[in-house]
Amino acid sequence: MLHLSLRRSIRLASLLFAAGAWLPSHAQEHPYITVATTMSTQQSGLLAFVAPVFAKRTGIEVYAVAMSSREAFRSAETGECDVVIADDRSRELQFMQNGSGRVLRYVFHDDFVLVGPENDPANIEGTHDALAALRKIVKAKALFVSSGDMSDTEQRLWAEAGEPPTSDHGQWYVETGSGSERTLATAASMHGYVLTNRRTWILFNDHGGLKVDVEGDPRMIDQYAAILVKSAQHPQVKADLGMAFIDWLTSPEGQTMIANYKVNGVQLYIPDPAKR
């Protein structure tokens, strides 16, 4: 039985890829793969940009289901998808170590920025050390806003800073329980700091008095991997078709497509042609 979130997303398939990639109405007559991916890649429009080109080259349609990384790997573990595209290093490694994944390739990356209010109460503007900036925020007890379901990058940065916060840390730390865009909007309305990927920041139309305070720290790089689900335990997994998609994403054409995807003239992702 399909995971509830996946079943719900299936009913919304036509909305996910209005730009050109969709689940065929007669799926049994047309080759297609199901890709479990994070909300960020779906919301950014990247997969809707590259999938039609892959379909034109191969005849294989790409049906993407957007969900949290936790849900994506859960669906993969039960064979509900053929490929996972995610930015969660710890879950990726665990997935491969558990024998659930057959192939892992790093495909592209973006990065995080630490943004905050104009008055910068923690005095972190211009800092290129994310850990030092987070420690200053804690020391100043300056308002920090998090989704509550931290990305792998955010978890790692807080852990390395030695100050992993929780909701009982007091009034300076707020969890929204929402996605990255709503969390950024909440930070703007509350005049707080927030860690967000650069893509979300670029797509955020009204910065609401927030500005980028910290960027350029290599520890803030957000790496995405494409993983082929192992078909030995799940014969329904389309291993050959899934591998064809991963091969294309890491091919010169696929990497060029990723590099060429821009929003408002700004490149959102950096391809990783050398990472295999």
Q: Where are the domains of the chain?
A: 4-109+223-271, 111-220
Q: What percent of the chain has pLDDT over 90?
A: 62
- Does position 6 have pLDDT exceeding 50, yes or no? no
**Cα–Cα distances in angstroms (integers) from residue 263 to residues 73, 85, 116, 179, 271, in the given order:** 28, 20, 23, 20, 16
Q: What is the rounded average pLDDT of the residues 242-256?
A: 97
- Does position 8 have pLDDT exceeding 60, yes or no? no
pLDDT for position 266: 85
Q: What is the rounded average pLDDT of the residues 33-62?
A: 92
Q: What percent of the chain has pLDDT over 70?
A: 86
> CA torsion sign, 179 to 89 to 262 to 11?
negative
Nearest Cα to 62, choosing from 257, 246, 276, 259? 246
Q: Under 8 Å CB-to-CB from 72, ≥6 apart: which residues?
A: 36, 37, 38, 81, 84, 86
The dotted CATH code for 111-220 is 3.40.190.10
pLDDT for position 135: 95
> Do 111-220 and 4-109+223-271 fall under one CATH topology?
yes
pLDDT for position 264: 82
Nearest Cα to 146, choosing from 109, 110, 114, 121? 114
262: three-class secondary structure by DSSP: strand
- Does position 84 have pLDDT exceeding 60, yes or no? yes
90: three-class secondary structure by DSSP: helix
- Does position 86 have pLDDT exceeding 60, yes or no? yes
pLDDT for position 134: 96
The CA distance from 267 to 202, in Å, is 10
Reading the block at residue 28, the tokens are 């049994």
pLDDT band at 99, cuts 50/70/90?
very high
The dotted CATH code for 4-109+223-271 is 3.40.190.10
- What does pLDDT average to over the chain? 85
Report DSSP state, residue 235.
T
- Does position 103 have pLDDT exceeding 90, yes or no? yes
Greater model confidence, 170 or 126: 126
What's the CA angle centered on 207, arms 211 and 204, to 5 degrees?
Answer: 115
pLDDT for position 154: 87
> For 201-219, what is each residue's pLDDT tens digit?
888 866 778 999 999 999 9
The CA distance from 43 to 200, in Å, is 9
- Does position 14 have pLDDT exceeding 70, yes or no? no
- Amino acid identity of 128? H
- Does position 163 have pLDDT exceeding 80, yes or no? no
Q: What is the rounded average pLDDT of the residues 170-197?
A: 89
Torsion angles phi and psi, residue 74, rounded to 5: -65, -45
pTM of the entire structure? 0.79
pLDDT for position 16: 38
> CA torsion sign, 209 to 184 to 153 to 15?
negative
**Cα–Cα distances in angstroms (integers) from residue 125 to residues 118, 186, 216, 250, 254, in the given order:** 9, 20, 12, 37, 37
pLDDT for position 188: 93
pLDDT for position 122: 97
